[in-house]
Structure 1
């Protein structure tokens, strides 16, 4: 169905004609305008009072709410008036489970984390979302940026949210297939309807069939989900701080580990948080999806990797992907951690896809500069040969720079970064040393787990038996870290299970010469020693027996200034992230079998120059 309100059509037609005559008089076309490889704001597209806004439902090929009918996704469209007179434009598409509201933060929403490892907490609360819907507008996000520049902006609500049918599956297949169906409709391959259960169809006659997707956090995950289907017409995506693996979001190297700021959250909590869909299907969805699939599959008892988690890791689904990729992430994002973007960027580069990555030094969220996004969409949606694919692959905001002014690098990690292995020399309960000397004395040092001390307190403490810490000499020159540090810990426990947490810090803790946008935490990592052999199969620790646990820390790119010391801190329970068993577990670390590998630009020569 076309936009068929007669009076509105006449009014819009007259308005479009008036704008066209004005544009001809000024010698400018009524259509997209490009300058220096970027789409420019077009005055004829700029007046929001003239935009056409309408909604519809796109039919999918799945039924996740068990009503025996294909689920339909609620979609809204915002487009310039000129598209009603034959102008076709590409689409910027944003989809989300959040548009219709989320569950309240009630007591007991999150899992209780204060219990012994390997045990389960009691039942938690299940609040329901008070759905918020305004038709025909699903969201106003991104519209002011893209419609004036010659794009149509499309929004949709994810399955089981808002006025979309189905069930939220939090990373299940329907969350990839739902945006695929919308893109298929935009390209003329799927059916859209004027109502949720009617048969009157709607056509996207104003679409060029070129679609780009973007969004932040969960809204950034879904463009990647759509891209992994290989759907024709999805030309480019710009995921911002996307969750690319639910295992990496809720677990870490076998350890049950919460996302920063949401202690006790797990995948079933997120399901309750977003489930704003049809009240009549909630009981069915809760029984089949939340209680029948998510809770048993997530295995909160062991934290092991399994088929459930593998099915929610988009790295495993990238085979069909062909969309051009511009990733964005913050190195200090402890909610959706920076590994999420790097792992997908790296895989895209290996596949030969056009790919760039933008990293800043802030926390969660943060899009690339508008210029970068504009050039990306201009190239791949409008087909303007602006050379963006020949530009630098990595753009990193240096510590004191404006996020709008990133520094270009050939790639990330920095091509000149080389691994430098550092060894530990004892000092417990005070501070030991980090050096490249591998011939230190045979020393074993002990720490006692106590979750009541947070990581910052442990790092600042001169003396404490609740952590081990090893410092470099005070730097005489800046050190540029770029890449993924790796830690190897040779350790034993006096219990069958223990948390293992590692922070890389810059001391002294006071800000001093540190940047206003980078705190004293360089990077972090966590692991379950019970998974020292296998991520998918844990085994109880034998008290007193030593095990080697090796795992990567989070990616980083940071310049540690002269005058600081780089510190490796090893402790057990991390108050902000891990389960919190009763204090008292003793970990013994064999320093001769423990080492830290840092990716340093300039390698060992740079390290020696800065620590002499």
Structure 2
């Protein structure tokens, strides 16, 4: 009798386990109104399967004679262990394993004359952090409960990934490609960095979406430019799409906002958390006190990438666009791209400026790729609303026909609106925006006029460079010899600017080199309380007059000789309220962004050959109506 009861109990347990297994296998993603919903069975973190591995790439960049392997971490619902296959949301980063401390002298000294060498900067090292198998917890709580697998990887030369950081080099595109290839069964994964036991992604459908912010947003674009099969959609948030545009502007050596003196080699030091193991020193000389038989991969990378490739290519003297920078400009690599693109950026991001997203969005649209762009009015970062991202991934990764490809192409968060409530437009720039040319009228050391009519014989006006005075102070000054300011009449109606403002300027310099900075401002300047980020500065731009002919070729200016150049300001979409005036401010050194030479350089502006072009919704009629 006891034997029978024991057998019956085993049968019951077996049937119950079988029922649980079948029930678990039947759990699938749920979609409502075209969006993946949180599935309770996927939403228990204690049950998530988390493991790491190394994916073999097609390159060797750290000098050990072996193909580099990328450290990859996986987080997936338990149901994927019982036959359920799901698409992947993938984020890669150079930051996961820690960054270098911001010590004195890490950034380049910007206090020197243009064209002169800066004093050497301090080089620092990263102390790697993190423990296996967790690389990062980003994206997981958002996407795993909605029926996705989340994958993270450390980019080359960071964390436990092999290789060297190149800050935009080819290996930073090929590394995520290898991970996507592994997710599709085309590359090999291993349980250990140096092991031979293989790991397969049997739980992956092969469809991958990538996202991330800043550098983490650059990598999805880098992967997409390889044309890798399986990367269906990307959502880059405030991505750096060209390291030239990040560290230079129209030939000018210009820092990203908030990081005065940063350059590409500084960022290299900042992220280089890998390469702690040893390799044979190819330059080893027996019996030499100055030579070691073995060196760290980190030292090999420093010598090869930072101290040779970057040192020889970055050119802080002329600021010219060259092969080094062209190789780190993803606009040049767009041809193979097939992934659907949803971009996100802030119009007041003065770190990774909004042009970075605009230029790629435009190129992808011209290629006929599915594209949408989401712009908000704040600073660095800021993803689209989760519903937008959800619809994008639901359609392109799960294959749900939710009509997202027919949604509006542009979504703009208006100045006083919640970021979750953007306004839909047919495209960006607003298709109803038309270029309006405004001309300068004398009086800029006080306040000159901007007008649609061109009044002849306005002559020339002079400003004197002084980097000790901030742009904010210059814009508020009633009179200043250090800037020229030209404004429209007070607006009687709101004016909607959408797109790229540009300036055509003819100038002469008293010295062979000079900074040129241009701000578009909204006046009167608001100083009450804590001004909103959309107050005061509309957009900005910088250029090197030495590059008046070409970005790839500069020449010393002949003092007193006039040169003409034209360049765009940063893209914007902003409504300037009635009661304000739109002002064009021209000055030389920008204390927040440029090199800072000694005061005294004079710039003479030919007013008759200088003009501002504004993209205004409604065109010239709208501007006249608002100002007459």
Are residues 1:476 and 2:473 paired?
no
Secondary structure of 1:610's counterpart equals: helix
Secondary structure of 2:260's counterpart equals: coil
TM superposition shift of 1:545: 0.4
Which residue in 2 is equivalent to 1:248?
Answer: 245
Which residue in 1 is equivalent to 2:47?
Answer: 50
Secondary structure of 2:297's counterpart equals: helix
Measured in 2, the distance between the counterparts of 1:428 and 1:183 equals 56
Secondary structure of 1:446's counterpart equals: strand
Which residue in 2 is equivalent to 1:268?
Answer: 265
Structure 1 residues 233 and 17, CA gap change in structure 2 (3 angstroms):
farther
Which residue in 1 is equivalent to 2:480?
Answer: 464
Which residue in 2 is equivalent to 1:166?
Answer: 163
Measured in 1, the distance between the counterparts of 2:502 and 2:603 equals 20
1:447 and 1:465 in contact (8 A); partners too: yes
The runs of 5 or more residues in structure 1 that have no matched partner are: 1-10
Secondary structure of 2:463's counterpart equals: strand
Deviation string for 1:191-248 (max 9, x for gaps)?
0000000000000000000000000000000000000000000000000000000000
Measured in 2, the distance between the counterparts of 1:15 and 1:110 equals 61
Measured in 1, the distance between the counterparts of 2:586 and 2:390 equals 44
Q: Indicate which of 423, 436, 446 corresponds to 1:420.
A: 436
Secondary structure of 1:159's counterpart equals: coil
Deviation string for 1:69-108 (max 9, x for gaps)?
0000000000000000000000000000000000000010
2:545 and 2:563 in contact (8 A); partners too: yes
For 1:190-589, what aligned pairs fall within 5 Å after superposition? 190-279=187-276, 280-510=296-526, 516-589=532-605
Deviation string for 1:446-469 (max 9, x for gaps)?
000000001000000001100000
TM superposition shift of 1:296: 1.1
Deviation string for 1:122-164 (max 9, x for gaps)?
1111110010021100000010000000000000000000000
Measured in 2, the distance between the counterparts of 1:301 and 1:293 equals 16
Which residue in 2 is equivalent to 1:148?
Answer: 145
Measured in 1, the distance between the counterparts of 2:599 and 2:532 equals 35
TM superposition shift of 1:15: 8.7
Measured in 2, the distance between the counterparts of 1:20 and 1:526 equals 64
1:450 and 1:583 in contact (8 A); partners too: yes
Length-normalised TM-score, structure 2:
0.93
Measured in 1, the distance between the counterparts of 2:237 and 2:437 equals 33
Larger radius of gyration: 2
Q: Indicate which of 182, 187, 190 corresponds to 2:184.
A: 187
Deviation string for 1:342-396 (max 9, x for gaps)?
0000000000000000000000000000000000000000000000000100000
Measured in 2, the distance between the counterparts of 1:511 and 1:135 equals 50
For 1:43-192, what aligned pairs fall within 5 Å after superposition? 43-192=40-189
Secondary structure of 2:218's counterpart equals: helix
Secondary structure of 2:605's counterpart equals: strand
Deviation string for 1:250-282 (max 9, x for gaps)?
000000000000000000000000000022211
Structure 1 residues 498 and 15, CA gap change in structure 2 (3 angstroms):
farther
2:348 and 2:533 in contact (8 A); partners too: no
The CA RMSD over aligned residues, in Å, is 1.6
Structure 1 residues 405 and 532, CA gap change in structure 2 (3 angstroms):
same
1:216 and 1:241 in contact (8 A); partners too: yes
TM superposition shift of 1:510: 1.1
Measured in 1, the distance between the counterparts of 2:139 and 2:101 equals 26
1:514 and 1:561 in contact (8 A); partners too: no
How many residue pairs get aligned? The number is 596
Length-normalised TM-score, structure 1:
0.96
The runs of 5 or more residues in structure 2 that have no matched partner are: 1-12, 277-295
Deviation string for 1:9-65 (max 9, x for gaps)?
xx9x999964864x89xxxx5110000000000000000000000000000010000
TM superposition shift of 1:511: 5.8
Measured in 2, the distance between the counterparts of 1:107 and 1:293 equals 24
1:400 and 1:517 in contact (8 A); partners too: no
2:164 and 2:275 in contact (8 A); partners too: no
1:514 and 1:520 in contact (8 A); partners too: no
Deviation string for 1:538-590 (max 9, x for gaps)?
01000000001210000000000000000000000000000001100000001
Measured in 1, the distance between the counterparts of 2:194 and 2:123 equals 29
Structure 1 residues 99 and 20, CA gap change in structure 2 (3 angstroms):
same
